[in-house]
C-alpha cells in the first residue's frame, strides 16, 4: 500500500492542513485566552499581560464565583430550563414533522399547515406584542415563559421533515401492511432511523436554550429568576457601560473584575461544550442504506 503521491497532491495536503489548523486556531484562541485570564491575577489581567498562558497562576476568581449566590442561582435556572425546554421542543418537533412529511394525498391540508408554520419564520409580531401575549397568558415571570413561546422551533421542524421525506417509502409501507399504525411507524421506525437529524436538532435545541438570554431578561421580573446566559450577558455588558451618574461611581470598580468575568464565561460555556463530543457519533450518514432491496 505504498502509493506514490504526486507533488501537487502533496502540496495541496500541506496547504489544506495548514489552512484547517489555522481555522481551528482562530476558534480556539479566544477560548484559551479567556481561560488564561480566568487563572491569572487581577493585576496582570488588567494590564493586558495575559495572552495564552496564565500570569501569576491563581484559583482566586473561581473561588470567588463558587461563593457567589447569583451565579449558582442562575445556573440552577438554566439547569431546569434546558432539559425542560429540550423535552418540549423535541417532542413537538417530531410530532409536527411527521404529518407534514406525508404526501398531499395522504394528508390533504398538508400545504396549508406547512405555510401556517413557515409564516412564523417570515413574519414576527415584534417585541411588544410578544411581551403582551406572554403577559396576558399569565406566563410572565414563570419558567414556562422561557419554554412555551418557543415550543415549536419551525426551522428544526423543516429540517426533520426533510429528513423524514428522504426515508424510503417502502419501509413504511411494509410496516403498514403488517398492521402498524402511524404511532408505531413514527416511534418504532422513523425516530430510530433518524438519529443523525435528531442529534443535529438536539444540539441546536440544547445550545439554543443554553445561550438564550434576551427572553430571560424581558420576561422575568426579578434577577433571581434569570437564566445563566442572561446573568452572564449583564455581567459582561455592564462592565463597558460608560454611563456616568454620580450615584454609581462604584460600578467603575467592576472593570477590574476582568478575571472573575472570564471565569464565569468559561464555567458557563463548559457544560454545553461537553455535549458536542457525545453527539458526534450520531453524525453518521447512510444509516438506511441497504435496508431496501428491489
Which residues contact other proteins by CB under 8 A?
41-43, 46-49, 60-61, 64, 70, 127-128, 131-132, 135, 141, 217-218, 221-224, 231, 234-235, 237-257, 259
Q: Based on CB atoms, which residue is closest to other proteins, 41 or 184?
A: 41
Minimal distance in Å, beta carbon 166 to other proteins? 43
Q: Based on CB atoms, which residue is closest to other proteins, 9 or 51?
A: 51
Q: Based on CB atoms, which residue is closest to other proteins, 22 or 48?
A: 48
Minimal distance in Å, beta carbon 51 to other proteins? 12
Q: Based on CB atoms, which residue is closest to other proteins, 182 or 251?
A: 251
Minimal distance in Å, beta carbon 233 to other proteins? 9
Minimal distance in Å, beta carbon 258 to other proteins? 9
Minimal distance in Å, beta carbon 179 to other proteins? 54
For cell 412564523, what's the residue? 120
Q: Based on CB atoms, which residue is closest to other proteins, 78 or 202?
A: 78
Amino acid at each position: 500500500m505504498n502509493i506514490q503521491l504526486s507533488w501537487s497532491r502533496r502540496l495541496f495536503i500541506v496547504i489544506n492542513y495548514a489552512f484547517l489548523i489555522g481555522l481551528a486556531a482562530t476558534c480556539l484562541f479566544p477560548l484559551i485566552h479567556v481561560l488564561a485570564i480566568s487563572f491569572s491575577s487581577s493585576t496582570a489581567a488588567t494590564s493586558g499581560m495575559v495572552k495564552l498562558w496564565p500570569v501569576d497562576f491563581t484559583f482566586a476568581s473561581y473561588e470567588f464565583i463558587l461563593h457567589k449566590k447569583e451565579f449558582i442561582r442562575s445556573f440552577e435556572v438554566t439547569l431546569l430550563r434546558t432539559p425542560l425546554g429540550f423535552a418540549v421542543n423535541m417532542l413537538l418537533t417530531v410530532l409536527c414533522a411527521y404529518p407534514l412529511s406525508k404526501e398531499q394525498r395522504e394528508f390533504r391540508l398538508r400545504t396549508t399547515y406547512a405555510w401556517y408554520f413557515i409564516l412564523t419564520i417570515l413574519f414576527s409580531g415584534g417585541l411588544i406584542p410578544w411581551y403582551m401575549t406572554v403577559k396576558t397568558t399569565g406566563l410572565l415571570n414563570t419558567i414556562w415563559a422561557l419554554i412555551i413561546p418557543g415550543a415549536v422551533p419551525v426551522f428544526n421542524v423543516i429540517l426533520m421533515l426533510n429528513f423524514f421525506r428522504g426515508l424510503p417509502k417502502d419501509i413504511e409501507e411494509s410496516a403498514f401492511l403488517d398492521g402498524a399504525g402511524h404511532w408505531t411507524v413514527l416511534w418504532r421506525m422513523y425516530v430510530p432511523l433518524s438519529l443523525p437529524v435528531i442529534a443535529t436538532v438536539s444540539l441546536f435545541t440544547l445550545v439554543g436554550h443554553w445561550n438564550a438570554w434576551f427572553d430571560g431578561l424581558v420576561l422575568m421580573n426579578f434577577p433571581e429568576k434569570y437564566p445563566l446566559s442572561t446573568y452572564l450577558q449583564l455581567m459582561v455588558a455592564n462592565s463597558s457601560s460608560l454611563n456616568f451618574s454620580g450615584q454609581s461611581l462604584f460600578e467603575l470598580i467592576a472593570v477590574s473584575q476582568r478575571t472573575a468575568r472570564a471565569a464565569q464565561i468559561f464555567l458557563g460555556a463548559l457544560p454545553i461544550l461537553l455535549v458536542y463530543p457525545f453527539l458526534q457519533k450520531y453524525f453518521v450518514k447512510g444509516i438506511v442504506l441497504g435496508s431496501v432491496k428491489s
